[in-house]
Amino acid sequence: MHGSKRVLAIAIVCLLGGTMASAQRTKKTQKPPSEPAPLMADDVFKNIQVLKGIPVNQFMETMSFFSASLGYNCTNCHVAASLGNWEKYAEDVPAKKTARLMIAMVNAINKSDFGGRGAVSCYSCHRGAGHPRIIPSLAEQYGTPPPEDPNEIEIAAQGPAGPSADQILDRYIQAVGGAERLAKLTSFAAKGTYGGWDTDFQKVPVEIFAKAPGQRTTIAHTRLGDSTTAYDGRAGWIAGADKPVPVLAVPAGQDLDAIKLDADLSFPGRIKQALDGWLVGFPETTIDDHNVQVVRGITASGSRVKLFFDKKSGLLVRLVRYTDTVVGIVPTQIDYSDYQEVAGVQMPFHWTVTWTSGQSTTELSAVQGNVPIEAAKFGKPAAPVAPKP
């Protein structure tokens, strides 16, 4: 994604508020009494008028939804000075006032015509443009239709019978080494490079630590300080100097489920236990000219995850997860490639993460299997400190 556009997940920061949150969404984000309440957008940002009462991470995902829907960058909805000053995001401009009215309009449509279900969103009309088109395009009507995006296929079709979810997942387990070898891999430490919107797409060193059954920490050493995602098997954190909160505890729900899933898939022998509600029967599709089989699963919080397995090799080549926000559904796509053997197990050494506010690529250069890793590696990270020049 272009550098100016990638920032919008951070950019429209003080636009709106959360009256659109449905009862179902509220229920999913509520924390058990024993856990601390999540940090809310109202606690961090100023001049929140519509998107009130939602966690910070959900607020940022909402910003990225606007980015994808309107094709906007930060300064389309904020003053130019906001790019270097979080306080400036709170200043009102006409675009922010219009956005608040649009949120109220979409909310009213969904409530009155669709029983509160999010059937209509910003993307329904804008489709990546700042202003919705009102005149039909003859070029589009009579031109060659674009290929169907496999990420859009949300409901299984009544197509010809194919292999079951168990059969596809069993073949994947066999393809990466088999259940016996997978059970023997209990940890690994990896080094490589990371590049994305938060590094201006410059490659920086990255370290990954993982321990079975489901702990994982990724540390990218950026010029602003370490950017860390950690999961200790129960709790997760995100830390970075470019974040609105230097160290953010990820609240229970769809975002924590996403971090947990990355940790679970580090040791794919338990892939069947990582998700529930497995479903097959999706239309056949291709990725990079490879025929793939699609299996859908459900996380503990109810969000959908689709896994794409190469029909020939059986390997996992793509994962797409869907996160509900108060304005629509945000997809995150991970493409895996360059599988190499580590302690008898095939692991991807290259993956690209694409989401509505950016893209990043990780390339591993060395992985050591079955190494001791201290528990502190998976705990709450320290606040990032910029390296000395």
Residues 112 and 187 in one domain: no
172: nearest Cα among 58, 307, 71:
307
Within-domain flag for 114: yes
What pLDDT sits at residue 141? Answer: 86
User: Could you tell me which residues are beta bridge partners of residue 285?
Assistant: 292
Confidence of residue 285 (pLDDT cuts 50, 70, 90): confident
- Whether 31 has a pLDDT exceeding 80, the answer reads no
pLDDT at 187 over 90: yes
Burial of residue 32 (CB within 10 Å: 0-12, 13-18, 19+) is exposed
At which residue do the structure tokens 């679970």 appear?
Answer: 264
Same domain, 103 and 200: no
Residues 99 and 194 in one domain: no
136 part of a folded domain: no
Which of 112-126, 152-166, 292-306 has the largest mean confidence? 292-306
What residues are paired with 305 via a beta bridge? Answer: 297, 321
State whether residue 195 is helix, strand or coil: strand
Q: Which domain holds residue 226?
A: 152-378
Residue holding tokens 């190494």?
371
Residue 81: what pLDDT? 77
pTM of the model: 0.85
Residues 157, 252 within the same domain: yes
Q: Are residues 114 and 80 in the same domain?
A: yes
Whole-Å CA distances, 65 to 62, 119, 197, 339: 5, 15, 16, 32
* pLDDT above 50 (res 27): no
> pLDDT tens for residues 44-88?
888 888 888 889 988 888 888 888 888 887 778 887 777 777 778
Inter-residue contact 276 to 265 (CB < 8 Å): no
For residues 208 and 345, the answer to whether their CB atoms sit within 8 Å is no
Clarify whether residues 119 and 236 are in a common domain.
no
Same domain membership, residue 234 and residue 91: no
Look at residue 252 in the predicted model and tell me its pLDDT. 92
pLDDT of residue 13: 38
Query: What's the average model confidence in pLDDT over 294-302?
Result: 94
Provide the CA 53 distance to its chain's centre, in angstroms.
21
Residue-wise pLDDT tens digits, 227-245:
999 999 999 999 998 888 8
In a domain, 384, yes or no: no
Of 256, 257, 326, which is closest to residue 53 (Cα–Cα)? 326
Domain match, 86 and 159 both: no
Statement to judge: residues 233 and 365 lie in one domain: yes
Is residue 200 a part of any domain in this protein? Answer: yes
Shared domain check, 198 and 104: no
CATH of the domain at 202: 2.50.20.10
Percent of the chain with pLDDT over 70: 87
pLDDT at 258: 96
- Are residues 257 and 292 located together in one domain of the fold? yes
Judge whether 231 lies within some domain. yes
Task: Judge whether residue 3 has pLDDT over 50.
Answer: no
- Dump pLDDT digits (tens) for 334-347: 999 999 999 999 99
Tokens found for residue 337:
């490639």
Do 363 and 350 contact (CB within 8 A), yes or no?
A: yes
Q: What is d(CA 254, CA 304) in angstroms, rounded to the nearest whole number?
A: 9
Q: Look at residue 23 in the predicted model and tell me its pLDDT.
A: 36
Quick one: tokens of 264? Answer: 């679970």
In angstroms, the CA 331 to CA 153 distance is 12
279: enclosing H helix or E strand: strand 276-279
pLDDT at 26: 41
Q: Is the pLDDT of residue 93 over 90?
A: no
- Whether residues 64 and 198 fall in one domain: no
Quick check: is 70 in a domain? yes
Residue written as token pair 């601390």: 36
Domains in the chain, number? 2
Q: Please compute the mean of the pLDDT values over residues 186-204 and round it to a whole number.
A: 95
Expressed in angstroms, the distance from the first to the final Cα of the chain is 29
Is residue 385 in a domain? no
Q: Is residue 131 part of a domain?
A: no
